[in-house]
A and B are shown apart, each in its own frame.
Chain A
Amino acid sequence: MRFQIADPEQMNELGIKIAAELQAGDLVLLNGPLGAGKTTLTRGIGEGLGAQGTVQSPTFVLARTHKTTRGPKLVHVDAYRLGSAMELDDLDINFPQSIVVVEWARDYVDGIADSWLAVEIDRSSEDEQRLVSIQGFGARWQGVELAAGN
């Protein structure tokens, strides 16, 4: 699925839309260059899940855990400073009971999960326009369609 995003507000809205599809045990991998809007999207996901506490860049701390009104914890990871997927495992995340969103994920799924939602944010222009591509991998995402964007 592809979404043309015009500004940060729309990126936030897309996050809320994605959140509607998420459940405990889900893994979302976000990729895109610096300033692409990964944290903005995650903020929208947090909003959609009713996350407690502000969704902020976890670069400094690697992972931030939020309680949510939806139920499962939202674990927001920044893999910017991680060298491999195995280091992700070291963060001791309770994957089955959480919804995990990983920024700078690259291909850090090897051995971690069988299913994941891959989100690529492309920013080719200097302004606020973004092209977001979303693809589901694995049994969990078979046949799941996000409500059509624009």
Chain B
Amino acid sequence: MDFRGLTVDDLSSVMELESSVFVSDAWSSESMRSEIESPNNFYLGLFEDGLIGYAGLSTIPGSFSSDIQTIAVSSAARGRGIGRALMQELLRKAKAQGSEQVLLEVRIDNEVAISLYASLGFERIDVRKRYYQPDNVDAVIMRLRITQPLVLGIESTCDETGVGIVRGNRLLANALHSSMDEHSKYGGVVPEVAARAHLEAIAPTLNKALAEAGVQMKDIDAIAVANGPGLAGALMVGIGAAKGLALANDKPIYAVNHLIGHVGADVLERGYVQLPTIALLVSGGHTSLLLVRDLLGDAVLLGETIDDAAGEAFDKVARVLGLPYPGGPQIDKLAATGDPKAIRFPRGLSLPKDMEKHRYDFSFSGLKTAVARYVEKAEADGETINPADVAASFREAVVDVLLTKALNACAEFGVDRLLLGGGVVANARLREVAQQRCEAAGIELRIPRFSLCTDNGAMIASLGAQLVMSGHAPSSLGFGAESTLEVTVVQSP
């Protein structure tokens, strides 16, 4: 059947069918137009030598509930199961959006429709007296409950072991174990140390997540695991565990992209992720700028760091200033009393000559070198420096270049939404300047809560759930760790 989404261009065909089917209570053309145009609605039509049926679904974002707005089939085309097919498409959509129930009203005297809905699993829950006017007919309210998949996700891309559990778009558990303390004496992440920590942390973190969610492993419908990008040895522990879990209970497994997981984390924050969006993901291991139009199939890497990640730059500059690891919080503390305008440090890849090849790429190596040079020169010349000013000016340079490029991307691609993700989101100055600049530019800023921004298992579970809810086949058992997985690969086969 040739279904397609309806647009305002189809308005006249729709109105023709509307008035022939709903003689006395047909919608006005203006009402139909605003229905079709609403971003919360999904209108579908079946064409066969003209429009012969249509139906509409409405989902208020974050409500976990959808409504069947209308359904109509031309009298000549009845008896062919078109109504059922239209309904099934709408229910597929409602499920993919994370709805846990679908509601509809139907005339109490429309026995054909009521039995169709009942056969699809709808139950009567209420009656609204004399709802349909001018015919003075009661409405029956019916509800279909949708059970969303219970998905467990494993995150082990770097130094945090995360196990998260979601039911559809609802967060049930987010358990985390970090090996940051073990790493502090090494001044950074050591793959072997991280991998050893993951192996020890998997079982207790898994238990913690199950207890938090109040479910058992046998209740889980699918397992998701981040198979990249990240540290190979660390990834392999999570992958081994995920495969063990999946095979133990004969459940499907989904190998997903960690960076796309960060973008999808917002789903758990408010029940949906508004797309398209520009996403700026900044952590110790990643600094990436993405344009995401469809979470499961359309993400483009606009740019990323060509040398150090932003978080790494914080670590290195902290060391130059004699501060311990991790550098981010240390720099923040010191910068609190410093002047961000004291020293103009370079904003990497921001020159006119960079705009062609590296428009949205980042480079923090030159910045780090400039700070080191500044400090060394002062020491050599016997001058005292104000470390607070150095920290504040360095931090300002990082925040400036990150947000300038992110907002330029919003402007160039006509996207008025910016999502922040990754551990560096903890930096208060980054959040402060992001808020200021986005407000000034009319850009909607989204920053999920910190536990969903830093590496975590819940975002992985959520991405897995999205794949299950929209009917994607699971991954095979043969996937491996991909330390440089591209953002165009959301799920590995």
Q: Do chains A and B touch in the complex (CB under 8 A)?
A: yes
Q: A53-B486, A92-B233 are in contact. Are A81 and B369 (CB under 8 A)?
A: no
For B238, list chain A residues within 8 Å (CB): none
Q: A57-B308, A61-B231 are in contact. Are A81 and B191 (CB under 8 A)?
A: no
B414 within 8 A of A: no
Once bound together, how far apart are the Cα atoms of A54 and B158, in whole Å? 18
Q: How many chain B residues have a CB neighbour from A under 8 Å?
A: 34
A144 within 8 A of B: no
**B285, A60: Cβ atoms under 8 Å?**
yes
B372 within 8 A of A: yes
**A34, B369: Cβ atoms under 8 Å?**
yes
For B366, list chain A residues within 8 Å (CB): 35
**A61, B369: Cβ atoms under 8 Å?**
no
**B306, A56: Cβ atoms under 8 Å?**
yes
**B191, A62: Cβ atoms under 8 Å?**
yes
B178 within 8 A of A: no
**A62, B190: Cβ atoms under 8 Å?**
yes
**B229, A56: Cβ atoms under 8 Å?**
no
For A56, list chain B residues within 8 Å (CB): 304-309
For A130, list chain B residues within 8 Å (CB): none
- The dominant DSSP class at the B interface is loop
B312 within 8 A of A: yes
**What is the distance, in angstroms, from A46's C-beta to the closest C-beta of chain B?**
10
A64 within 8 A of B: yes
For B190, list chain A residues within 8 Å (CB): 62, 81
Once bound together, how far apart are the Cα atoms of A26 and B250, in whole Å? 43
**B316, A59: Cβ atoms under 8 Å?**
yes
For B312, list chain A residues within 8 Å (CB): 57, 59-60
- Residues facing B in A5-46 (CB within 8 A) are 34-35, 39, 43
Against A, the Cβ 8 Å flags (1 = close, 0 = not) of B364-390 are: 011011001000000000000000000
Besides the contacts A57-B305, A61-B231, A65-B232, what 9 more A-B pairs have beta carbons closer than 8 Å? A35-B366, A35-B369, A39-B365, A53-B229, A53-B484, A59-B316, A60-B308, A91-B191, A92-B233
24 A-B pairs within 8 Å (CB atoms) are namely A34-B369, A35-B368, A39-B307, A52-B486, A56-B307, A56-B308, A57-B305, A57-B307, A57-B365, A60-B188, A60-B189, A60-B309, A60-B312, A60-B315, A61-B231, A61-B285, A62-B189, A65-B232, A81-B186, A81-B190, A90-B192, A91-B191, A91-B192, A92-B233
Partner-B contacts on A (CB < 8 A): 34-35, 39, 43, 52-57, 59-67, 81, 90-92
Closest 4 CB pairs of A and B: A53-B484, A35-B369, A60-B312, A57-B307
